[in-house]
Amino acid sequence: MSSASLLPPADAQPPVRHPDAPAPGEPLGAHYEHCFGCGPGQPHGLHLEARAGDGVSLTAEFTVQPAHQGAPGLAHGGVLATALDETLGSLNWLLRTIAVTGRLETDFVAPVPVGTVLHLEAEVTAVAGRKIYSRATGRIGGPEGPVAVRAEALFIEVKVDHFTEHGREQEIRAAMSDPDQIRRSRAFEVNP
Ligand SMILES: CCCCCCCC(=O)SCCNC(=O)CCNC(=O)[C@H](O)C(C)(C)COP(=O)(O)OP(=O)(O)OC[C@H]1O[C@@H](n2cnc3c(N)ncnc32)[C@H](O)[C@@H]1OP(=O)(O)O
């Protein structure tokens, strides 16, 4: 049961897939080398890999590593919430909207053992002004496997200044000076 702030208002609109969004089945790639959710440069990160789906939806996979434990042999709940947050956040790339998580509500349905491949699917359900409503499900072992986690979220559209004003200067400078234009833009999720 989600809280009232996650219910789209009456004037909400269906999401619109950006014409330049990656085709269904295409990997989205990491948006930032050092992102804990998807970055290849984080040794203990989730290394979550997302692929575009139809409309404003996607699928993602995350393999639970020993570094992600909470209890012996079981994934930490906060790590699972991170996987959901990352998956839901990646949807905004299909809208080409820069947005951050305002609210994330998670149901932990079943424990997730280390070694599990968590198969996630997510979709944007509605957009109302700067507010983007979305939901995700994570299943154990395969896309049709048993449900382990579910989430609903509200992302809020922001300007790139959100990152440049609040982030630490040394990382901002490094990301800004990346010669790869797409990587540089995606670090801040800016429309390249
Ligand atoms: C590919 C990328 C993958 C990335 C995946 C990971 C994504 C993340 O984890 S992002 C990091 C975590 N999130 C953050 O750090 C965000 C921190 N929070 C903030 O910076 C601000 O609170 C921010 C930007 C969300 C909203 O502030 P601001 O821009 O001043 O907007 P504000 O006017 O307060 O709110 C706008 C609307 O959203 C609503 N809203 C804002 N926050 C919430 C909330 N927590 N719950 C419900 N509604 C909210 C407001 O009620 C308001 O609604 P309305 O327009 O109907 O009045």
For 115-142, how does the pLDDT look when each residue is reduced to its tens digit (9 = 90+)? 999 999 999 999 999 999 999 999 998 9
For 158, the 3-state DSSP assignment is: coil
CA atoms of 114 and 153, how far apart (whole Å): 26
Return the higher-pLDDT residue of 184 and 85: 85
Q: Could you tell me which of 168, 41, 71, 182 has the C-alpha nearest to residue 79? A: 71
The tokens describing 124, both together, are 């944007």
Largest Cα–Cα distance in the chain?
47
d(CA 153, CA 100): 10
pLDDT at res. 192: 45
Q: Report the candidate in 18, 27, 30 with the shortest Cα–Cα distance to residue 183.
A: 30
Interface confidence (ipTM) of the complex: 0.97
Q: pLDDT tens for residues 3-33? A: 999 999 999 999 999 999 999 999 999 999 9
Report the distance separating Cα 134 and Cα 128, nearest Å.
12
Q: How far does the centroid of ligand 1 lie from the alpha carbon of residue 155, in Å?
A: 6
Which residues 6+ apart lie within 8 Å of 172 measured at CB? 163, 164
Token pair recorded at residue 102: 């305002």
Structure tokens at 37: 């959710």
For residues 65 and 83, give the distance between their C-alpha atoms in angstroms, rounded to a whole number. 13
Q: pTM above 0.90? A: yes
Q: What is the residue type of 53?
A: G
Using pLDDT thresholds of 50, 70 and 90, give the confidence band for residue 75.
Answer: very high
Minimal-distance CA residue to ligand 1 atom 22: 102
Q: What is the pLDDT of residue 188?
A: 85
The residue contributing the CA closest to ligand 1 atom 1 is 90
pLDDT value at position 190?
65
90 lines ligand 1 (CB under 6 A): yes
- For residue 186 and ligand 1, the question of a CB distance below 6 A is answered with no
